[in-house]
A and B are shown apart, each in its own frame.
Chain A
Amino acid sequence: MSSLDAREALRLDDVRKVYGTADNPVTALDGVTLRLPTGSFTAVMGPSGSGKSTLLQCAAGLDRATSGSVTVAGQPIPTGGEAAVTKFRRDRIGFVFQQFNLLPTLTALENVTLPARLAGRRVDRKRCATLLAQVGLGDRLHHRPAQLSGGQQQRVAIARALASSPALIFADEPTGALDSRAAREVLALLATAVRDHGQTVVMVTHDPAAAAYAGAVVFLADGRIVGHLARPTADAVAERLAHLTDAVAVAGV
């Protein structure tokens, strides 16, 4: 059992997340169980509002599941205060947010070095600058978020998530604001993290072509896992997605 756990990068057991008040509850996750091996690249897909961001946030310890458990590399996310969760998270997990969440007062390079500073680790400015160059921002190191385009901010956020070489990387629509060329570069970067460094990547995307970079796709609808596709191609993903939206539309009527 425990030897299995060590090769399991992420494990969710019957995770539920309910937002809102008691008399007006919104069930964002409705009993999600998921196991992802170390060194896997998984895409999470599903209609808008199906709970993809919520899933990532609960899995990353950014939000607390209403019930169920989350285990990262064999260790459950601590239940103590925020400080304990933060310390757990920053040693293991990188996160690319749908809304970037860069610090407005810091430059691109400073934003990328921030997690290491906060964790009290040595700041490797050279590596951070290299990462920014890899996402095509070698000439924007000293610009602040307000001086960057949306796609450029997104790439800073990606470099930040990769900077501390976390075992587990979550990316919420990391190519949402990018043109197809920049998107390909970012996806290649994530694929490299998996292939060459044994990191585990979980990525939310709406783009079948992006999902094709992953080793498997998990489909989500109404807070439940409704499908799974191994070794996806863009066409296969698009087809499954079309069925899924139809099914949801029918169920909604």
Chain B
Amino acid sequence: MVTLALRTLRHRTGGFLATFAATFLGATILMAFASLFDTAAGGVDTATEETLTLMASVAGGWCLLIVAFAVTSTLTLAVRQRDRELALLRSVGATPGQVGRMVVVEAAVVALAAAVLAVPAGYGLGRLLFTLLVRTDQVPAEVAYRFGSIAVGIGVGVTVLGALLAALATARRLGRMAAQEALVADEPRRMGWKRVAAGVLLVAVGANNGLLTVLLFSGAGSDAMQTAGSASIFASAGLALLSPALIRAVTAVLGGPLARLGGAGGWLTVANLRRRSHQLGGALMPIILFTGISVGTLVMQSVENRADAPGGTIPASMQRNIETLNLVVVGMIALFAAIMLVNTLIAATTYRRREFGQQRLAGATPGQVRRMVGAEAAVLAVTGVLAGSVASLATIVPYTIARTDRLVPDAPAVIWPAIALAAVVLTLAASIGSARRALRTPAVEAVGLTA
């Protein structure tokens, strides 16, 4: 099975690209932040040590949550796409244990390779981050940048562990199914209760943080960021977990009109949205995270910058620190989510070459297939932007109330439309672009592909 795992890796490199990309990027970002710990440990003055540690633990901490989330969800998606192939192995006599080991070995090899290759990239990004801190006078110029065991340990450890845990969970799921059941299994009609519970819990934590912001920090100046900043991150992650349900809800509303007015493409889109809500949910997640966290954090920072009365316990010298911190966090998370978004969409669309081939053989022109993919992407983008915007309110509303005693934030009006537009453009471009590429394979050949 280990040999089979390695052979599969060699022959199907494309299928593992998504997992590789997620792990590589995640490890790069984590190493960049963790290298600040290495630098702080290298004999610097207390103030500098504090700045570096704060930056590494707060910003890095949030990135850690998002990276773990992204690596596990990408890997789960990648394995799900191979359900048929794995079920086939089962049906020719592989035990669930053998298939499970194969999945875990594959995940480990891919994740480890990605994390190790990420070391130079992590070094570069960490250096960039450090230069930013020096340029903004938060770290004295004479401090030397260091990249060492903490950076490598955290970067490699978290991503490989995340990938392994996700692979183990998937292997367990495969093991519970009978071979034949796995071969014909439709995707589940509803989400597992654990996933629903986790999603609801995260949304509740987000709402609770918002509430605490108003109750504890009203009039306390920028202290309110302590709870408000994380509120939209929690809420976005929660809604992202619930994305199959969101897709079903949106389809219930939009499905009828889209099927009636959208021609054959619209009709196929609705069939897909109804019956593939889990698969499409994987693509919805990064849209929600991207929108929710970017809008929430950027609006919060703008409110802070425009608030006239500085206050709270945080000294003025630290204000700048916090602004940089916020911008770095949101920048990294937004970038990561954007790349994950493109990554997931490309993987999901490429996987559908066979389905596109079947549609073409049934009489769909390439243009009709592209329009169908476009309609699906549009529904995903609108759903994701709406859900992300709702999640961002968990930060924006409480912070505005606490900081300025108003309900409507005093922030540049372009933030929301700019981010929403970026999400929509990325989603459409990645989906339609990879559909175009998938359509280059002749239809008769495409239906012969296993994945």
Q: Which A residues contact B (CB, under 8 angstroms)? A: 57, 62-63, 81-83, 86-87, 89-90, 95, 97, 99, 101-106, 110-111, 114-115, 117-120, 144, 146-147, 160
Contact = CB atoms under 8 A, between A and B. Distances in A.
A114 B246 CA distance: 27
A146 B360 CA distance: 20
Contacts of A82: 360, 365-366, 443
Nearest to B363: A90
B359 interface: yes
Contacts of B367: 83
A101 B442 CA distance: 15
A102 B357 CA distance: 10
Contacts of B442: 63
Contacts of A86: 360, 363-366
13 contacts: A86-B364, A86-B365, A87-B365, A89-B363, A95-B361, A99-B447, A105-B272, A105-B275, A117-B263, A118-B264, A118-B363, A118-B364, A120-B263
Contacts of B366: 81-83, 86
Contacts of A105: 271-272, 274-276, 355
Contacts of A99: 447-448
Interface of B: 184-186, 263-264, 267-268, 271-272, 274-276, 355, 357-368, 442-444, 447-448
B365 A102 contact: no
Contacts of B276: 105
A104 B185 CA distance: 11
A101 B447 contact: yes
A39 to B, nearest CB: 24
Contacts of A81: 366
Nearest to B265: A118
B264 A120 contact: yes
A97 B447 CA distance: 11
A144 B186 CA distance: 9
Contacts of B271: 103, 105-106, 110
Contacts of B263: 117, 120
Given A57-B444, A146-B184, A146-B186, A114 B275 contact: no
B363 A114 contact: yes
A87 B447 CA distance: 20
A64 B444 CA distance: 10
A99 B272 CA distance: 22
A62 B363 contact: no
Contacts of B448: 99
Nearest to A99: B447
Nearest to A63: B444
Given A86-B364, A105-B275, 6 more contacts: A82-B443, A83-B366, A87-B365, A90-B363, A103-B359, A105-B271
A147 B184 contact: yes
A115 B272 contact: no
Given A62-B443, A62-B444, A120-B263, A115 B186 contact: no
Nearest to B270: A105
Contacts of B275: 105, 144
Nearest to A100: B358
Nearest to A119: B363
Residue from B267, B275, B361, B447 whose CB has the most chain A CB atoms within 10 Å: B361
A117 B264 contact: yes
Residue from B185, B267, B276 whose CB has the most chain A CB atoms within 10 Å: B267
Contacts of B359: 103, 114, 118
A80 B357 CA distance: 19
B283 to A, nearest CB: 16
A104 B264 CA distance: 16
A31 to B, nearest CB: 21
Nearest to B276: A105
A120 B266 CA distance: 12
Contacts of B364: 86, 118
Contacts of B363: 86, 89-90, 114-115, 118-119
B442 to A, nearest CB: 7
Closest 9 CB pairs of A and B: A90-B363, A83-B365, A117-B264, A118-B363, A115-B363, A146-B184, A105-B275, A118-B264, A86-B365
Contacts of B272: 105
A63 B184 CA distance: 30
A86 B367 CA distance: 11
A109 B338 CA distance: 39
A57 B359 CA distance: 16
Nearest to B359: A103
Given A104-B355, A105-B271, A120-B263, A115 B362 contact: yes
A103 B447 CA distance: 11
A102 B360 contact: no
B362 A101 contact: yes
Contact of B358 (A87, A101, A110, A117): A101
Contacts of B184: 146-147
Given A117-B267, A120-B264, A146-B184, A101 B365 contact: no
A111 B362 CA distance: 9
Nearest to B439: A82
Contact of A118 (B274, B355, B362): B362
A173 to B, nearest CB: 16
A150 to B, nearest CB: 11
A81 B108 CA distance: 44
A220 B368 CA distance: 36
A95 B362 CA distance: 8
B361 A101 contact: yes
A204 to B, nearest CB: 15
Contacts of A97: 361, 447
Given A57-B444, A63-B444, A103 B355 contact: yes
B425 to A, nearest CB: 26
Contacts of A119: 363
B422 to A, nearest CB: 30
A162 to B, nearest CB: 14
